[in-house]
Amino acid sequence: MVQRYIHALDEVNRMAAVSYRESGGNVENVIGDILSLLIAAYRHGIEDIADMLMYRMYIDLNRMNNAIYKNIDGKTFEDRVRDHMAADDPKGLQKLAESEYHRVYSQAEFDGAEDYEADTGLTPTKKWNTMNDNDVRETHDFLEGVSVGLHEEFHTVDGDHALVPGGFEKAENNAGCRCWLTFGVA
């Protein structure tokens, strides 16, 4: 699953670059392209949690919309796209697309785990995983291998907290995050 996820992030970066180049400055086209990616991210997250828990999952459209349009530091992904387009910042747009894909994917896995819990009465646990390389930030390296209950948050050394990777309160703990969760049932 991790390899499939990394491949998806590579595709996200390529698509963001192409969308930016071919948009002709049309912000709404780029927002539409990234929205399509985020819908795919949610679907991929649901598929992966279904595989991990060996349980058939369905997509709840309301939860998907909540994941996609989440406000972080008072902005949605659409606001951030507009900021990067206005600043003529294709690299920032690529990083945004990657970070938003990651955040939505992680939220979909969590949503699927909650559905599993509601359907079966079994509560999954979640374990934080990093890429274990030199690019892992200190706040996330601190979380490597930490397991918590499904509804418990992960707490970083800088005081931030999140239920899932990409779900931190501070944008700097989300941008460029490549961490992922593994789920299990005791």
Under 8 Å between Cβ of 117 and 186: no
Q: Where are the beta strands (DSSP E) in the chain?
A: 125-129, 147-149, 154-155, 161-162, 180-184
pLDDT at 10: 65
Which two structure tokens, joined as six digits, stand for 25?
């400055």
Separation CA 48–CA 32 (nearest Å): 24
Whole-number pLDDT of residue 176 = 86
| Amino acid sitting at position 177 | C
The pLDDT, as a whole number, for residue 113 is: 98
Contact 147, 125 (CB under 8 A): yes
pLDDT in tens, 5-55: 656 666 666 676 667 677 777 889 889 989 999 999 999 999 999 999 999
- 150 secondary structure, DSSP code: T
Q: What is the mean pLDDT of residues 133-157?
A: 95
CA angle (4 as vertex; 112, 49 as ends), nearest 5: 15
In the sheet that holds 180-184, the strands lie side by side as 147-149, 125-129, 180-184
For the chain, give the mean pLDDT. 90
Backbone angles phi and psi of 108, in degrees to 5: -65, -40
Domains in the chain: boundaries: 2-184
**Structure confidence at residue 17 (pLDDT):** 67
CB atoms within 10 A of CB 61: 10
Instruction: Round to whole Å and give the CA distance between 125 and 123.
Output: 7
